[in-house]
Amino acid sequence: MAHIKLKDVINRVQTKVDKDNTSLIYYVGGEHIESENVCITKRGLIEGSTIGPMFYYGFKAGDFLLVSRNPHLKKAGVVGFEGICSEKTFVLATANSEVLLPEYLPFILQNDTFWEYAYQHRHGSTNTFINWSTLANYEFELPNIEIQRKLAEILWAINDTMESYKRLILATDELVKSQFIEMFGDPLKNPRHLPQFRLEKFIHFLTSGSRGWAKYYSEDGEWFITITNVKNCKYPLTISSVYVRHITLKLNGPV
């Protein structure tokens, strides 16, 4: 198995695009890239957006995007569409498909060994970052093209299965919420005028902040409290954390 550096088999693509004069439709920001996921499916529309002047790198379907800021978040993945991204996101592609298969590239970069290297070689204090020159010297073992092809088939099959389970979990979550609303009505509007109580009547929360309430945010900005943040429950509590998050705590701020 060949032991090589990243720069020997991967190119950093630096195609400049004028976001105000382009036929491209989509942009990808850090908020669209899920941690530890080999695929990027989320995107935003360039038209009408408020993205800044640093969004000037173009990418095409099949390219690999890697966010250089905060490497501990492990944000990187392959895109299935074309668009633009900021200069803080590296656009990477296979230098020679006869040496490194494009299908195998995502698994070279989206793994714990690579991210440990990136984290150890980060710069800065608050918003840490990694330089391309540093990443280019990352060394790894590259199997021959036939083994790459076999491994890629297996790994993509595993990834597809994982994504299917994620969709199933989301669908189940929506079903649970819809059944709750069918039974009790919208918990925010309370159309059946059910009695309402402050949560502190029944449970205490792990301290976080001046008032001792746990303060956590979901990715979409909603406040929520999970079972792991609860202590000294005064009543039996068998409800799941996902259930609690979605039916009780769509708050505008701390309680």
CA distance 242 to 225: 9
Find, among 119, 132, 53, 52, the residue nearest to 91 by Cα.
132
- Over residues 97-139, the pLDDT tens digits come to 999 999 999 999 999 999 999 999 999 888 899 999 999 999 9
pLDDT higher than threshold 80 for residue 85: yes
Mean predicted confidence (pLDDT) in 191-208: 67
Residue 200 DSSP code? G
pLDDT higher than threshold 90 for residue 17: yes
Predicted local distance difference test score (pLDDT) of residue 20: 93
Which residue has tokens 């669908």? 171
pLDDT higher than threshold 70 for residue 185: yes
Predicted local distance difference test score (pLDDT) of residue 188: 76
The mean pLDDT value of the chain amounts to: 82
pLDDT higher than threshold 90 for residue 147: yes
Q: Where are the beta strands (DSSP E) in the chain?
A: 2-5, 10-13, 15-16, 26-28, 39-40, 44-45, 55-59, 64-67, 76-79, 83-86, 89-94, 139-142, 204-205, 230-231
pLDDT higher than threshold 80 for residue 45: yes
CA distance 119 to 72: 6
Locate 94 and state its tokens.
């296979």
Q: Residue 19 — pLDDT band, cuts 50, 70, 90?
A: very high
CA distance 155 to 146: 14
CA distance 186 to 245: 14
- Over residues 119-129, the pLDDT tens digits come to 999 998 888 99
Per the model's pLDDT, the better-predicted residue between 140 and 225 turns out to be 140
CB under 8 Å to 254, separation ≥6 — which residues? 209, 211, 213, 215, 223
pLDDT higher than threshold 80 for residue 44: yes
pLDDT higher than threshold 50 for residue 155: yes
- Is the CATH number 3.40.470.10 carried by domain 2-142? no
- Over residues 50-77, the pLDDT tens digits come to 999 999 999 999 999 999 999 999 999 9
CA distance 183 to 67: 44
pLDDT higher than threshold 50 for residue 190: yes
- Over residues 21-32, the pLDDT tens digits come to 999 999 999 999
Half-sphere exposure of 182 (CA within 13 A, CB side): 6
* Model confidence, pTM: 0.70
Residue 199 DSSP code? G
